[in-house]
Structure 1
Amino acid sequence: MPSDTASSAVERRFERIDRLVTIDFPRRGVIGLLYEAAREELGRPLCLHAAEMLKNGLSAGRVVLIATGWLDRPHVSLSIAETDGPPGAAVLARALHVGLGAIPVVLVEEEILGPMTSVMHAAGLRCVAPDEALMAAGGSGALHPASVIALPKERREAERLAVNLLDRLDVGAFVAIEKGGENRRGRIRTSRGADTTDALGKADAVLEACRARGVPTLGIGDGGNEIGMGLIHERLAGRLRNSIGSDGTSDDGVVPVNRTDALVAATVSNWGAYGVAAALAMLLDRPGVLHTVETEQRILEACAAAGFIDGVTGYVGPSADGLSLDVHLNLVRLLRTFVNDGVNTAAWRNYPDRLEKLAAERGKDAR
């Protein structure tokens, strides 16, 4: 086994990814609390932990379920959704397909099936029905399949869908990105405390079904009210704004209760997904697993063309969480710099075999 010292040396390379995707550019003032709580719970870089879990659970032909989409102005229209979440889902879907041969099946509300499909196409994946995606994965012609399907808003319907998917498909992992999670009262709240339960698909039903069958689960969020934050529910109670509900307890607050196996807290949920893709690229020694700056621009422009809005500004455009296109492009540019540096560094290439060599070399130096 690699020594603790060598393992620490490797993990420091992934620290840069975590640090980058948690810089508080929008000065929201919450990411420090979320990240600290998650690190205390997991004890290692969050993006590395998530990427390793996905790498161990997925392989060629296995399905990854990805829940995303937040209907941002339900009091106006159920067809309005935000640009944080769908890009991250598309990028991570692409990374898991390119890197591991996984087949992504994305779950969103029925109202945004078309817009989400357009975003997936911008990432280079061709959306077809789940059964067709399975057939395409085994075909002789080049095709990179994915699927986008409706996630029911009624709890029992969502539970039935979950059972059906797990019975029919070889599911190797479940991921939720910027997806509202249920508190102990079964309510889904925005970070400001507004109740949006009726408007959103019940991704918790899929999460619970996956956990019951031992399928690895990951939540990615940025506000404390998303699926995944149940892992740190008790750490956030009373410390996060609106974590205590109107009844004076955390049961009816914004923090979800269902736990996931891994959690990535990021400044923007999309960035958390990008960080996991970058960590996976480093683990696999394949820089191409992380999308390019050009693909990032194409994805965000596809979001705007499909009518997604920036959840902070309310404008339709290639931005997310109040941060302009240039900010997101530069973040991807920096992540790619980290990946290229990481995969070309002999200290940890062919992870974890190189760790053993590194430990032995350091032992010689010490003597």
Structure 2
Amino acid sequence: MGWSRRATGVTHYDPGRAYRGYTLFAPNDGEDAYLIDMEGDIVHRWRCPDGIGQGDLLPNCNLLLRTPRSADSGGFPGVPASGAVQELNWDGEVVWEYRDPNLRRYSRLPNGNTLLLIWEEISIDKSRHIQGGFTTPTDPERLLGDLVVEMTPDGSIVYEWHSSDHLDPEQDIICPLENRTSWGGANDITALDDGSFLISFRVLDTAALVDRSSGRFAWKWGRGQISHQHHPTPLANGHVLLLDNGAHRRGLSYSRVVEVDIGTSEIVWEYHGEPLSSFFTHFTGGAQRLPNGNTLICEGYEGRLFEVTPTGTVVWEYISPFFRQDVQGYANRVFRTQRYDPDYAGLAGRDLDPGQYPNLNRLYNGRSYRMV
């Protein structure tokens, strides 16, 4: 997807086919998370001085987020991580947090606990048996693995899972175009109601469902099918939806969203751009299945949020107007987005009048979209 800095805000909207609600996103490397309406107007903003890398609106009206890791906070060098997971109330006040420079992702459980994805070192012996990746003279003697912990609100750890205890060195081989820093490079985790969880191993091209009681993989899929994926989420029909980023894919680089039947490991639905190269996000992004059957997609690298019907028709599109200068240049990247129903518990009783933010909406929403 090529973008123009002039074409921002809502650029396309079909009210008859789009799923009406409020869309949450946080511009990369920024301090704000925005909730916008279907017309692209900001109806609420949270600000966090530590930065917001990703946010989720909880049923209690609080925002659960992760902050970027600061340069002086420690942690393992050379790998992306977060500095903390925080919960902010509607007014932006911190009501809960957990800090660890090796945090990656989070998922809030129905019981109020939080599932956390954290880097950890693998033993030297295991590290020597891990295959794949390109080697350099500075490769670490101990590779990094993925630790999953369940934490109570008071900070107690009540469950641990170590990826290195369950991945197979003979089968789970690092992509040859990735370095040998980590084995798995897990980039997403999603908790299920029964305590099991979906996890995405980016550099292994693998998504997996982990059984809570045994710790074993109840389903493991992706090698040869997807490339450097993000955001596996469960669907009501028992399938899994995920973004296949397509980075390091053999042949043409392009992204797609796929729905997989975990019983057969077959792709039963997919969305891709026409032409293929018109939808591509090398890093970041995700997808959410909406109640009307449409799918909300985050083409994160281009700051593009868009909704498609089951037949692939785009019925809503928003290009983030929030550009920032970072190490990769001047860009408007977005890690993830979520759409919330107007009746969602987390919005109950809240003032969602865009008139609260007249200056922001004047600056960042030119109302230039085309309605059909």
TM, length-normalised to structure 2: 0.30
Higher strand share: 2
Between Structure 1 and Structure 2, the one with more helix by share is: 1
Name the structure, 1 or 2, with higher relative contact order (CA <8 Å, separation 6+). 1
